[in-house]
Amino acid sequence: MKIQATDTPLHQWSGDCLGVGFFEEQAEQSAAFGTLNSALDGLLQEVIAENEFKGKSGETVWLRTPSGSGLARKIVLVGLGKPEGWSLEGLRQAAAAIARTAQKQKGKTVAIALPLWEQNATLSAEAIVEGAVLSLHQDNRFKSETENGSRLYVEQIEVLEVGDRAAAIAKAQQICEGVILARELVNAPANVVTPMSLADTAAQLAQELGLSLEVLEKEACEALGMGAFLGVAQASDMPPKFIHLTYKPSGTPTRKLAIIGKGLTFDSGGLNIKPTGSGIETMKMDMAGSAATLGAAKVVGLLKPDAEVHFIVAATENMISGRAIHPGDILTASNGKTIEINNTDAEGRLTLADALVFAEKLGVDAIVDLATLTGACIVALGNDIAGIWSPQDELANALLSASDQAGEKMWRMPLEDKYFEGMKSPIADMKNTGPRPGGSITAALFLKQFVKETPWAHLDVAGPVWTEKESGYHNTGATGFGVRTLVNWVLAEK
Ligand code: BES
Ligand code: MN
Ligand code: ZN
């Protein structure tokens, strides 16, 4: 898809579909309305009146212009809500509404004219491109034949009224490539995305982008004492892969960061098997943290920031066989801590434990992990908001502002040390699960046992990585959540 910024005036743009945004109750006062309405001899005014278009957020109305008018073939009016609440996320959603309408109308050439956010044409252009591109992304890889309705009609998008923004547009397109990679990894079922295929994806990124890659096989993990990760992996017929992908800038790095993603390509629950109704059939998504990690690696490789970044995934499945860990088994992690497994379905934290120990040994300045860790986090924050835990306010705030800029919602949760009492084991250093109340907090406290002094943050993304219904710039299925927050965080000054 070709995307560019042009300064064609609205009434001279003559492609298939022109999308224009209007703030609530202000449509008729706006310059865009005046220009288009007089070019249309008052038709726009009539359409707005007939449709009772108010400009409320989410409202869309489209009209066909008279042939020979020299205008766009169709004009889409999009409501933006109150101007006080205008945001980058509003821009993404409005651009998505325009792109979706153009696609439904089978438009090939599309123009988007929306008000800037805080006079910042660069960030505004980026947000418009993200909203349009991500809303048009469809994953038809697993359909035998592309059905008529599912082909992509939109071929070209022009962003109007943002000045010359070629660099911003290119950057946003690269960010979208990372988000789309993450979505496709999560959408693919567990018989397609396996620990081996995740390692292959990392190898492909390494080759394309000049990153370095180390994949630790089972024996190498054994040598490092990764008993927690390997305990989870031991029932699967697929070999585990511990993936370590590294981006190094050409000069001296300004800082060194590690990003860890939970990479369970399928979570059956193990011997504490997930019963019917628990969502076992969606557990291909239990590698969404690793998908965001690899998606971010792609973008970092393309954008080449000044920071050094380590991308780490302890990839495996959580399965059942004669070799499966028994409830009650005791595993020893690579930092020497022992864990009594009182529930084999709390497997993500076990894989992350060894990944955290590995990351800290790299001597990085900060570690962030992303994991579809607990159903309890979904109970606490719902499907749209990720939980964030960190002992360090500075790191937590940096991630919160990165997420805010990305429009990926997060809410800081407490690391309530007292709750770790529920994880005490009579026989080992700790159990892997505590009581039901505060389940996402005890999971975070468990992870904390495997980080000594490096600033660390944990993101529980179980809710927002998946959506059952199309909304905004997300389509049904994987959302690619986390990629844009990670990229903003890596790109930030500090
Ligand atoms: N992968 C799941 C968490 C999950 C649930 C992700 C729903 C996405 C949607 C995780 O491994 C898990 O099974 N957690 C258990 C922990 C419990 C046994 C303490 C849970 O949340 O029920
Ligand atoms: Mn589980
Ligand atoms: Zn899991």
- The pLDDT value recorded for residue 150 is 78
Atom of ligand 1 nearest to the CA of 434: 19
Distance (Å) from CA 41 to ligand 3 centroid:
60
Q: Rounded to an integer, what distance in angstroms lies between the CA atom of residue 433 and that of residue 128? A: 43
Active site residue 183: no
On whether the CB atoms of residues 268 and 319 are closer than 8 A, the answer is yes
pLDDT for position 146: 64
**Phi, psi (rounded to 5 degrees) for 91:** -65, -45
What whole-number distance in Å separates Cα of residue 207 and Cα of residue 37?
Answer: 53
- Whether ligand 1 lies within 6 angstroms of the CB of 375 is answered as yes
Using the atom order of ligand 1, give the atom closest to the CA of residue 272: 18
Among 349, 409, 431, 484, the one annotated catalytic: 349
Q: What is the pLDDT of residue 149?
A: 57
Q: Nearest 10 degrees: CA dihedral of 187, 188, 191, 196?
A: -110
- 298: its two tokens: 């792609």
CA distance 278 to 164: 50
**CATH 3.40.220.10 residue window(s) in the chain:** 2-141+154-162
Dist. CA 46–CA 41, nearest whole Å: 10
User: For residue 247, which of 192, 294, 201 has the smallest C-alpha distance?
Assistant: 294
Both structure tokens of 216: 């630790």
What is the CATH topology of the domain spanning 174-491?
Aminopeptidase (3.40.630)
The residues near 437 (Cβ < 8 Å, ≥ 6 apart) are none
Both structure tokens of 453: 């002094």
Annotated catalytic residue: which of 56, 255, 274, 412?
A: 274
Place of tokens 């995305």: 193
Which residue out of 284, 345, 479 has the highest number of ligand 1 atoms within 8 Å of its CB and is therefore the one to mutate? 345
Handedness of CA 365, 368, 369, 374 (dihedral sign): positive
pLDDT tens over the chain, length 494 residues: 999 999 999 999 999 999 999 999 999 999 999 999 999 999 999 999 999 999 999 999 999 999 989 999 999 999 999 999 999 999 999 999 999 999 999 999 999 999 999 999 999 999 999 999 999 999 999 998 766 557 999 999 999 999 999 999 999 999 999 999 999 999 999 999 999 999 999 999 999 999 999 999 999 999 999 999 999 999 999 999 999 999 999 999 999 999 999 999 999 999 999 999 999 999 999 999 999 999 999 999 999 999 999 999 999 999 999 999 999 999 999 999 999 999 999 999 999 999 999 999 999 999 999 999 999 999 999 999 999 999 999 999 999 999 999 999 999 999 999 999 999 999 999 999 999 999 999 999 999 999 999 999 999 999 999 999 999 999 999 999 999 999 999 999 76
Looking at residue 413, what is its pLDDT? 99
249 C-beta closer than 6 A to ligand 1: no
Q: Which of 342, 374, 467 has most ligand 1 atoms within 8 Å of its beta carbon, as the pocket-test mutant?
A: 374
CA Rg, the chain, in Å?
Answer: 24
Q: Is 62 within 8 Å of 77 (Cβ atoms)?
A: yes
462 lines ligand 1 (CB under 6 A): yes
Ligand nearest to the Cα of 343, by number:
1
- Cα gap 242→239, rounded to integer Å: 10
Q: Is the CB of 317 under 6 A from ligand 1?
A: no
Cα–Cα distance for residue pair 473/95, rounded to 1 Å: 8
Of the candidates 460, 485, 253, which has an alpha carbon nearest to the alpha carbon of residue 365? Answer: 253
Burial 283-306 (b: 16+ CB within 10 A, else e): bbbbbbbbbbbbbbbbbbbbbebe
- 151 included as an active-site residue: no
Ligand nearest to the CA of 288: 1
pTM of the model: 0.98
Q: How many angstroms separate the alpha carbon of residue 371 from the centre of ligand 3? A: 8
The C-alpha angle with vertex 328 and arms to 327 and 330, in degrees rounded to 5, equals 115
Q: What's the 345 CA to ligand 1 centre distance in angstroms?
A: 7
Q: Give the pLDDT of residue 454.
A: 98
* The predicted structure's pLDDT at residue 147: 64
**CATH 3.40.630.10 domain extents, the chain:** 174-491
CATH class as words, domain 2-141+154-162:
alpha beta
